[in-house]
Amino acid sequence: MDGSEKQYLIDDLKLGESWRLFKIMGEFVDGVEELHDLGPAVSIFGSARIKSEDPVYHKAYRIASLFAREKFAIITGGGGGVMEAANKGAADVEGMSVGLNIRLPFEQIPNRYSNKKLEFKYFFIRKVMFIKYAAAYIALPGGFGTLDELFEVVTLVQTRRIKTSPIILVGSDYWGGMIDWIKARLLDNRMISAPDLDILQVMDDPEEILKRVKKLVTV
Protein backbone atom coordinates (compact mmCIF):
# COMPACT_ATOMS: atom_id res chain seq x y z
CA MET A 1 0.00 0.00 0.00
CA ASP A 2 1.23 3.53 -0.83
CA GLY A 3 2.77 4.97 2.31
CA SER A 4 0.95 8.25 1.70
CA GLU A 5 -2.45 6.57 1.85
CA LYS A 6 -4.14 6.34 5.25
CA GLN A 7 -5.20 2.88 6.34
CA TYR A 8 -8.04 3.73 8.73
CA LEU A 9 -10.35 5.31 6.19
CA ILE A 10 -13.43 5.72 8.36
CA ASP A 11 -11.43 7.94 10.75
CA ASP A 12 -10.75 10.40 7.94
CA LEU A 13 -14.33 11.61 7.59
CA LYS A 14 -13.84 14.66 9.79
CA LEU A 15 -15.04 18.22 9.59
CA GLY A 16 -13.24 19.93 6.74
CA GLU A 17 -12.65 16.66 4.89
CA SER A 18 -16.07 16.40 3.27
CA TRP A 19 -14.29 16.36 -0.10
CA ARG A 20 -13.83 12.62 0.55
CA LEU A 21 -17.54 12.25 -0.10
CA PHE A 22 -16.81 12.91 -3.77
CA LYS A 23 -14.44 9.93 -3.82
CA ILE A 24 -17.18 7.82 -2.24
CA MET A 25 -19.68 9.03 -4.83
CA GLY A 26 -17.17 8.26 -7.57
CA GLU A 27 -16.84 4.64 -6.42
CA PHE A 28 -20.62 4.30 -6.43
CA VAL A 29 -20.86 5.74 -9.95
CA ASP A 30 -18.10 3.47 -11.28
CA GLY A 31 -19.76 0.40 -9.78
CA VAL A 32 -23.20 1.21 -11.15
CA GLU A 33 -21.87 1.99 -14.61
CA GLU A 34 -19.94 -1.29 -14.78
CA LEU A 35 -22.64 -3.58 -13.39
CA HIS A 36 -26.02 -2.09 -14.34
CA ASP A 37 -26.48 -4.43 -17.32
CA LEU A 38 -24.95 -7.52 -15.73
CA GLY A 39 -28.12 -9.61 -15.89
CA PRO A 40 -28.96 -12.39 -13.41
CA ALA A 41 -26.04 -12.91 -11.03
CA VAL A 42 -25.00 -14.84 -7.96
CA SER A 43 -22.68 -13.44 -5.31
CA ILE A 44 -20.34 -16.06 -3.86
CA PHE A 45 -18.65 -15.39 -0.51
CA GLY A 46 -15.86 -17.34 1.14
CA SER A 47 -12.37 -17.28 2.60
CA ALA A 48 -9.35 -15.91 0.77
CA ARG A 49 -7.20 -18.38 2.74
CA ILE A 50 -8.52 -21.58 1.13
CA LYS A 51 -5.82 -23.33 -0.93
CA SER A 52 -6.35 -24.76 -4.40
CA GLU A 53 -6.08 -28.35 -3.16
CA ASP A 54 -8.81 -27.84 -0.54
CA PRO A 55 -12.19 -29.56 -1.22
CA VAL A 56 -13.87 -26.23 -0.50
CA TYR A 57 -11.95 -24.68 -3.40
CA HIS A 58 -13.15 -27.42 -5.74
CA LYS A 59 -16.73 -27.05 -4.53
CA ALA A 60 -16.66 -23.30 -5.13
CA TYR A 61 -15.31 -23.93 -8.63
CA ARG A 62 -18.05 -26.47 -9.34
CA ILE A 63 -20.85 -24.25 -8.07
CA ALA A 64 -19.67 -21.28 -10.10
CA SER A 65 -19.28 -23.40 -13.25
CA LEU A 66 -22.81 -24.75 -12.92
CA PHE A 67 -24.31 -21.31 -12.48
CA ALA A 68 -22.26 -19.77 -15.27
CA ARG A 69 -23.42 -22.50 -17.69
CA GLU A 70 -26.97 -21.44 -16.81
CA LYS A 71 -26.17 -17.84 -17.78
CA PHE A 72 -25.75 -16.46 -14.27
CA ALA A 73 -22.91 -13.99 -13.80
CA ILE A 74 -20.64 -14.87 -10.88
CA ILE A 75 -19.71 -12.07 -8.47
CA THR A 76 -16.91 -12.50 -5.92
CA GLY A 77 -14.62 -10.31 -3.88
CA GLY A 78 -11.97 -10.78 -6.55
CA GLY A 79 -9.28 -12.21 -4.27
CA GLY A 80 -7.83 -15.64 -3.67
CA GLY A 81 -9.19 -18.83 -2.16
CA VAL A 82 -12.93 -19.32 -2.61
CA MET A 83 -13.13 -16.12 -4.64
CA GLU A 84 -10.46 -17.30 -7.06
CA ALA A 85 -12.12 -20.70 -7.39
CA ALA A 86 -15.50 -19.18 -8.20
CA ASN A 87 -14.10 -16.69 -10.70
CA LYS A 88 -12.10 -19.48 -12.35
CA GLY A 89 -15.13 -21.75 -12.48
CA ALA A 90 -17.10 -19.09 -14.32
CA ALA A 91 -14.26 -18.07 -16.64
CA ASP A 92 -13.46 -21.65 -17.64
CA VAL A 93 -16.95 -22.08 -19.08
CA GLU A 94 -16.80 -18.64 -20.73
CA GLY A 95 -19.23 -17.11 -18.27
CA MET A 96 -19.27 -13.62 -16.81
CA SER A 97 -16.79 -13.59 -13.92
CA VAL A 98 -16.86 -10.42 -11.80
CA GLY A 99 -14.23 -9.54 -9.19
CA LEU A 100 -14.96 -6.72 -6.73
CA ASN A 101 -11.52 -6.27 -5.28
CA ILE A 102 -10.85 -4.30 -2.08
CA ARG A 103 -7.58 -2.53 -1.41
CA LEU A 104 -6.11 -3.92 1.82
CA PRO A 105 -2.69 -3.69 3.45
CA PHE A 106 -2.51 -7.50 3.48
CA GLU A 107 -4.14 -10.67 2.13
CA GLN A 108 -6.24 -9.30 -0.74
CA ILE A 109 -4.43 -9.86 -4.03
CA PRO A 110 -6.69 -9.81 -7.12
CA ASN A 111 -7.02 -13.14 -8.88
CA ARG A 112 -6.54 -13.35 -12.63
CA TYR A 113 -9.79 -15.12 -13.48
CA SER A 114 -12.31 -12.30 -13.31
CA ASN A 115 -13.10 -10.90 -16.74
CA LYS A 116 -14.81 -7.83 -15.26
CA LYS A 117 -12.73 -6.21 -12.53
CA LEU A 118 -13.57 -3.36 -10.19
CA GLU A 119 -11.44 -2.03 -7.37
CA PHE A 120 -12.81 -0.43 -4.21
CA LYS A 121 -11.31 1.58 -1.42
CA TYR A 122 -14.40 1.49 0.79
CA PHE A 123 -15.89 -1.75 2.09
CA PHE A 124 -19.44 -0.45 2.34
CA ILE A 125 -19.60 0.50 -1.33
CA ARG A 126 -18.28 -2.90 -2.32
CA LYS A 127 -20.97 -4.58 -0.20
CA VAL A 128 -23.67 -2.56 -1.95
CA MET A 129 -22.45 -3.96 -5.27
CA PHE A 130 -22.46 -7.53 -3.92
CA ILE A 131 -26.05 -7.12 -2.83
CA LYS A 132 -27.60 -4.86 -5.44
CA TYR A 133 -26.68 -6.92 -8.49
CA ALA A 134 -27.18 -10.47 -7.19
CA ALA A 135 -30.35 -12.54 -7.29
CA ALA A 136 -28.92 -15.11 -4.86
CA TYR A 137 -26.12 -15.31 -2.31
CA ILE A 138 -23.94 -18.34 -1.64
CA ALA A 139 -21.55 -18.50 1.31
CA LEU A 140 -18.83 -21.11 1.51
CA PRO A 141 -16.59 -21.48 4.57
CA GLY A 142 -14.94 -18.23 5.55
CA GLY A 143 -13.96 -15.95 8.39
CA PHE A 144 -14.99 -12.52 9.64
CA GLY A 145 -15.20 -11.02 6.15
CA THR A 146 -17.49 -13.79 4.94
CA LEU A 147 -19.68 -13.46 8.04
CA ASP A 148 -19.85 -9.70 7.56
CA GLU A 149 -21.05 -10.05 3.98
CA LEU A 150 -23.43 -12.88 4.86
CA PHE A 151 -25.16 -11.16 7.77
CA GLU A 152 -25.40 -7.88 5.88
CA VAL A 153 -27.61 -9.67 3.36
CA VAL A 154 -29.54 -11.55 6.07
CA THR A 155 -30.27 -8.30 7.92
CA LEU A 156 -31.48 -6.56 4.78
CA VAL A 157 -33.82 -9.44 3.96
CA GLN A 158 -35.05 -9.67 7.55
CA THR A 159 -35.80 -5.94 7.70
CA ARG A 160 -37.29 -5.98 4.19
CA ARG A 161 -34.84 -3.49 2.80
CA ILE A 162 -34.26 -5.86 -0.12
CA LYS A 163 -36.54 -8.50 -1.59
CA THR A 164 -36.32 -12.03 -0.28
CA SER A 165 -33.64 -13.93 -2.21
CA PRO A 166 -31.98 -17.32 -1.74
CA ILE A 167 -29.17 -17.19 0.83
CA ILE A 168 -27.40 -20.53 0.90
CA LEU A 169 -24.69 -21.71 3.29
CA VAL A 170 -22.56 -24.39 1.64
CA GLY A 171 -21.28 -27.05 4.02
CA SER A 172 -23.44 -28.45 6.78
CA ASP A 173 -20.35 -29.52 8.76
CA TYR A 174 -19.03 -25.96 8.73
CA TRP A 175 -22.22 -23.98 9.23
CA GLY A 176 -24.25 -26.44 11.31
CA GLY A 177 -22.84 -25.24 14.64
CA MET A 178 -23.67 -21.65 13.82
CA ILE A 179 -27.25 -22.55 12.94
CA ASP A 180 -27.55 -24.49 16.22
CA TRP A 181 -26.25 -21.43 18.09
CA ILE A 182 -28.72 -19.16 16.32
CA LYS A 183 -31.57 -21.45 17.37
CA ALA A 184 -30.32 -21.90 20.95
CA ARG A 185 -29.41 -18.28 21.62
CA LEU A 186 -31.14 -15.92 19.22
CA LEU A 187 -34.41 -17.79 18.75
CA ASP A 188 -34.81 -19.16 22.26
CA ASN A 189 -34.10 -15.71 23.71
CA ARG A 190 -36.53 -14.09 21.26
CA MET A 191 -33.86 -12.03 19.55
CA ILE A 192 -35.29 -13.25 16.24
CA SER A 193 -38.59 -14.79 15.17
CA ALA A 194 -39.06 -18.35 13.95
CA PRO A 195 -39.66 -17.27 10.32
CA ASP A 196 -36.25 -15.57 10.34
CA LEU A 197 -34.64 -19.00 10.34
CA ASP A 198 -36.04 -19.58 6.87
CA ILE A 199 -33.85 -16.79 5.47
CA LEU A 200 -30.85 -19.15 5.54
CA GLN A 201 -30.64 -22.53 3.85
CA VAL A 202 -27.79 -24.98 4.55
CA MET A 203 -26.94 -27.19 1.56
CA ASP A 204 -24.06 -29.37 0.38
CA ASP A 205 -24.66 -30.55 -3.17
CA PRO A 206 -23.81 -28.08 -5.99
CA GLU A 207 -26.48 -29.44 -8.32
CA GLU A 208 -29.15 -29.11 -5.63
CA ILE A 209 -28.01 -25.57 -4.90
CA LEU A 210 -28.46 -24.68 -8.56
CA LYS A 211 -31.92 -26.26 -8.63
CA ARG A 212 -32.92 -24.35 -5.51
CA VAL A 213 -31.87 -21.00 -6.92
CA LYS A 214 -33.39 -21.64 -10.36
CA LYS A 215 -36.69 -22.53 -8.70
CA LEU A 216 -36.79 -19.09 -7.08
CA VAL A 217 -34.99 -16.93 -9.63
CA THR A 218 -35.82 -16.37 -13.27
CA VAL A 219 -32.85 -16.10 -15.64
Tell me: pLDDT of 219 over 90: no
Q: What angle do CA 32, 37, 77 make, to 5 degrees?
A: 60
pLDDT tens-digit series, residues 17-70 = 677 788 899 999 999 999 999 999 999 999 999 999 999 999 999 999 999 999
pLDDT tens-digit series, residues 74-106 = 999 999 999 999 999 999 999 999 999 998 776
CB-based contacts of 190, cutoff 8 Å, min separation 6: none
Domain ranges of the chain: 25-31+38-216
- Report the run of H or E that residue 137 belongs to, with start and end: strand 136-139
pLDDT tens-digit series, residues 180-213 = 999 999 999 999 999 999 999 999 999 999 999 9
What's the CATH number for 25-31+38-216? 3.40.50.450
End-to-end CA distance of the chain, in Å? 40
The structure's pTM equals 0.89
Of the candidates 79, 64, 72, 74, the one whose C-alpha atom is nearest the C-alpha of residue 120 is: 79
- Measured in degrees and rounded to the nearest 5, phi and psi for residue 163 equal -70, 155
Of the candidates 75, 171, 206, the one whose C-alpha atom is nearest the C-alpha of residue 129 is: 75
